[in-house]
Amino acid sequence: MTGLFISFEGVDGVGKTTQVERLRDYLEAAGREVVVTREPGGTALGGSLRQLLLREPGDAAEADGADIAPRAEALIFAADRAQHVAEVVRPALERGAVVITDRYLDSSLAYQAGGRELTADDVRGLSMWATGGLMPVRTYLLDMDPTAAHRRLQHDADRMESAGDEFQQRTRQAFLDLAGHEPGRFRVIDAAWPIEAVWEHIKADVDAVLADAAADERAAAQAAAAQAAVTKESDGNTPAGGAR
């Protein structure tokens, strides 16, 4: 069975965690192995890098007042992503699991190349090198006005969440621009809808993704069987001792 890689994106507070959990439960009920992970922080190394990057309330790094330069920030995110793919994502995909990640490459493009105003090509190239070019088959962008989304948060704001309204608005627009450039991979869903409505849209699309993957597997199996039959027939027609 072919593994599937799915990501969820959007500004903080749009409800990614809720929908990730619903998708995990749905796929596990259908008999699939599901690996749920996140960026930054999907590995032991990533957990340490997450503390550096986000400086959640109470972190020692938060108290020292030092900031992270935009290029350094992009490099730390790329290091987290490289370890995440090598340790968690690729091994799971290779054994046929569905991997669902809360944030991936698009978050770096939106936050570092959008919110931080770095060069998008540099950020993309760095992460593509770090991951060996691995991209999700589907990305669900839960879109919502950042001000409204921020009111949903049930914890103290971390370093990214407290970066200011202008930063959050730029980041949201960067996500939408990314989706516009890759309509085949992205599905943009209004996160202001009720939770059930958001889930129904995701469920319908996931069912279509699974159906397409199954069709591709059948086609590949048929092609392999046809090639094996041709090879067998060719071997059977070869005179003993080899061709003369």
H helix or E strand, kind and range, residue 236: helix 195-236
Q: Is 2 annotated as a binding residue?
A: no
Q: What is the distance of C-alpha 64 from the center of its chain? A: 32
Cα separations in angstroms, 67 against 55, 159, 163, 203: 10, 10, 12, 41
Q: Is 145 annotated as a binding residue?
A: no
The answer to whether residues 60 and 66 touch, using CB atoms and an 8 Å cutoff, is: no
> Around 225, how many Cα atoms within 13 Å sit in the side-chain half-sphere?
6
Q: Is 14 annotated as a binding residue?
A: yes
The two tokens of residue 177 are 């621009």
Q: Is 15 annotated as a binding residue?
A: yes
Q: Is 99 annotated as a binding residue?
A: no
The two tokens of residue 222 are 């048929």
Q: Is 10 annotated as a binding residue?
A: yes
Cα separations in angstroms, 89 against 34, 130, 187, 188: 11, 13, 21, 23
Q: What is the distance of C-alpha 138 from the center of its chain? A: 8
Binding-site residue ranges: 10-17
Binding-site residue ranges for ATP: 10-17
